[in-house]
Structure 1
């Protein structure tokens, strides 16, 4: 495995804009890895929202209430203040695990920047819209051609160069495209073309993410995910489609082995 933090593969979910499905995706990836048998820890750096931490707390409560064993990563939430606590959490959670999943705030944050420097896989979720694209690049208002990378893209570029010089490691930057149902086809095509142009300039991979499904938000109080099929009983078409999205997303992330079967049929 890559060596971001002592042999553990560090996956950082980062986007300085909110509302992109970042925490929901981070939770599903962490639980997906745990469900396949990997040893997983998770660190929530957003001490204000605490979406990831609360999701896992809800999940633990559901497991106790139902008596069902639900694969859940070891997790904690940072206080947003202490550098010593951040370093201690990073080291402790990285001990004896295969993956460390870090969720960051939807804003500029010093701990998020430090987390990115430790990443082996950096995931930036974004919705398929030019509002979200503006985080990573700017386009001409008439032609929709990319005119320049954004400050955020330049920051990640410099971070990747520094990491390569420091220990020879490569940060795999993945832009995760969450599909919005209400965007019309022509605009979606323009966004797609802009992402393709920019990916060649700054070196990220663009992969399919999750759709704007109410079902993902509805599962938060119980801490469940689309992986917990026995909790649903009979699954409807929306559940099946959402599970397929997760399969495709996890495959496209191309995370290290062990490649045990994901998601029992």
Structure 2
């Protein structure tokens, strides 16, 4: 069976699509077959990322390692079993179609609470939750006393992950490996960065996730999107001399892939 990676939270602007594309492409470049789904049926940022990549490769005669993207299939409502949710059926059908040819299936969820996102979280073998490094995004995970920074309790998103874990346990499936990824980390050891880090470490012990450093705030990520490229592709398109920022960003991708500790994956780029 394919190992299912879900990239999700309930807040937009945290770098989910950029994180998804770099993980999926890195796995492809290391020789793994990867199927991908975008559950944001309205914006489709991740789906557009993959489509941009295919268009760029076709235009320039390139053969870059690319994940296999699939749309959710349309379903005739009359074919549903009594009480069956149409979105559950569409997601199940999409995963079933990708699974035979995939070592990994990566599912990018929308930045809001939807039925599709809820079901996808229950499918996750590995759950990756990108967040900007601030207490605004920390609120996604838990409520904090503004005076003492004491954690008051889990947020609705953390409760959704808890429910997904319960569903997997009832089905006899392995537990979710949950990784919270700190994106847009500042280079300086600022006071707020330290406080967010301490809060995450405390919360991780209470609700069971690992913390990993993600990607810094870099213009290059926005520049690559229209061509569907990642930092790992730069030399393949003729960029022989990487600047210091690009070298550092490649190292961030490498470090994140190591931290994910995905089964059968040896990071060799």
Task: Please report the TM-score for the alignment, with normalisation by the length of structure 1.
Answer: 0.92
Contact 1:134-1:150 at 8 Å conserved across structures: yes
For 1:245 and 1:180, locate their aligned partners in 2 and report how far apart those are by CA, in whole Å. 11
Residue 71 (str. 1) matches residue 65 (str. 2) = yes
Shift of 1:182: 8.8
Q: Which residue of 2 aligns with 1:93?
A: 98
Question: Residue 246 of structure 1: which of 246, 253, 260 is its match?
Answer: 253
What do the CA deviations read for 1:79-107 (whole angstroms, capped 9, x no partner)?
79953332211110112210000001000
For 1:198 and 1:61, locate their aligned partners in 2 and report how far apart those are by CA, in whole Å. 43
For 2:24 and 2:113, locate their aligned partners in 1 and report how far apart those are by CA, in whole Å. 23
Gaps of 5+ in 1: 1-6
Moved more, 142-151 or 197-206: 142-151
Contact 2:186-2:193 at 8 Å conserved across structures: no
Residue 114 (str. 1) matches residue 119 (str. 2) = yes
Moved more, 81-90 or 118-127: 81-90
Q: Which residue of 2 aligns with 1:230?
A: 236
Task: Please report the TM-score for the alignment, with normalisation by the length of structure 2.
Answer: 0.90
Secondary structure (helix, strand or coil) at the match of 2:191 reads helix
What do the CA deviations read for 1:42-62 (whole angstroms, capped 9, x no partner)?
001111111111111111111
Report the CA distance shift for 1:248/1:258 in structure 2 as closer, same or farther (over 3 A): closer
Shift of 1:233: 3.1
Q: Which residue of 2 aligns with 1:19?
A: 13
What do the CA deviations read for 1:95-147 (whole angstroms, capped 9, x no partner)?
22100000010000101111111110011100110000001001111111212
Moved more, 160-169 or 36-45: 160-169
What do the CA deviations read for 1:138-186 (whole angstroms, capped 9, x no partner)?
1111111212111211221122122122124111011011134398711
Contact 1:175-1:206 at 8 Å conserved across structures: yes
RMSD of aligned residue pairs (Cα, Å): 1.8
Q: Which residue of 2 aligns with 1:126?
A: 131
For 1:155 and 1:50, locate their aligned partners in 2 and report how far apart those are by CA, in whole Å. 23
Instruction: Number of aligned residue pairs: give it.
Output: 256
For 1:79 and 1:113, locate their aligned partners in 2 and report how far apart those are by CA, in whole Å. 18
Residue 45 (str. 1) matches residue 39 (str. 2) = yes
Q: Which residue of 2 aligns with 1:4?
A: none
Moved more, 101-110 or 78-87: 78-87
Aligned 1:103-182 pairs, distance under 5 A: 103-181=108-186
Report the CA distance shift for 1:40/1:105 in structure 2 as closer, same or farther (over 3 A): same
For 2:161 and 2:74, locate their aligned partners in 1 and report how far apart those are by CA, in whole Å. 21
Gaps of 5+ in 2: 76-85
